[in-house]
C-alpha cells in the first residue's frame, strides 16, 4: 500500500508539514504533561481512523515509558481505572473537540469546566492546540491514505 500523495517530497505538502511539526514542537515545550499530550493524540487518532497517527503515537508513548495497559485502554478510557482524573478530563475534551460534527453544541461547558479544574490557562491552551493539531494531521493522513505500521520512534525528530 502506498499513499495517494507523497507528502514528504511534494513541495507544498512538505512545507505545510514542516509548519505543523514546528507547532507540535512548541507544544512539547509547554507545561502540559507529555503523557497527556500523547494520550490525547492517540484518542483523537483512533476516533478519526488515522492508522498512521495511531501507530506513531502508540509507539512514541511506549518509547517514552507509557505502559501497554494504558495504551491498550485509551479507546475505553471511561471504563478504565488506569487514568488520572486530569487525564480523563483531557480525553473527554479531546473526544468532544474531535467529534464536533457529531454534537451540535460542540464542546460542552461541563467538559471545559472539568478540564479547567486540572489544567491552568497555559495548559488548557496547549491542550486545545494539541487537539486541533492532531485533528489536522489525522485529516491529511486519512485523505491521502498514509500507510501505517512502519513508524519508528523519533523518526521525524
pLDDT in tens, 123-136: 999 999 999 999 99
Q: Is 2 within the bounds of a domain?
A: no
In a domain, 153, yes or no: no
In a domain, 157, yes or no: no
Tell whether 50 is covered by a domain: yes
pTM (predicted TM-score): 0.95
pLDDT of residue 154: 84
Structural domain tally of the chain? Answer: 1
Residue 22 lies in a domain: yes
Q: Is the dihedral of CA 138, 143, 148, 151 positive or negative?
A: negative
Give the pLDDT confidence of 96-117 residue by residue, as tens digits: 999 998 877 789 999 999 999 9
d(CA 27, CA 7): 22
Amino acid at each position: 500500500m502506498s499513499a495517494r500523495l507523497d507528502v514528504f517530497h511534494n513541495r507544498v505538502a512538505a512545507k505545510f508539514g514542516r509548519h505543523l511539526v514546528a507547532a507540535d514542537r512548541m507544544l512539547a515545550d509547554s507545561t502540559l504533561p507529555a503523557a497527556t499530550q500523547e494520550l490525547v493524540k492517540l484518542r483523537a487518532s483512533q476516533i478519526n481512523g488515522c492508522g498512521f497517527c495511531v501507530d506513531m503515537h502508540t509507539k512514541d508513548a511506549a518509547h517514552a515509558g507509557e505502559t501497554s495497559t494504558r495504551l491498550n485502554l485509551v479507546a475505553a478510557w471511561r471504563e478504565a481505572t488506569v487514568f488520572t482524573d486530569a487525564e480523563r478530563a483531557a480525553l473527554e475534551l479531546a473526544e468532544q473537540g474531535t467529534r464536533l460534527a457529531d454534537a451540535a453544541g460542540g464542546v460542552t461547558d461541563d467538559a471545559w469546566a472539568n478540564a479547567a479544574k486540572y489544567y491552568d490557562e497555559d495548559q488548557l491552551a496547549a491542550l486545545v492546540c494539541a487537539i486541533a493539531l492532531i485533528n489536522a494531521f489525522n485529516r491529511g493522513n486519512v485523505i491521502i491514505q498514509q500507510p501505517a505500521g512502519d513508524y519508528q520512534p523519533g523518526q521525524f525528530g
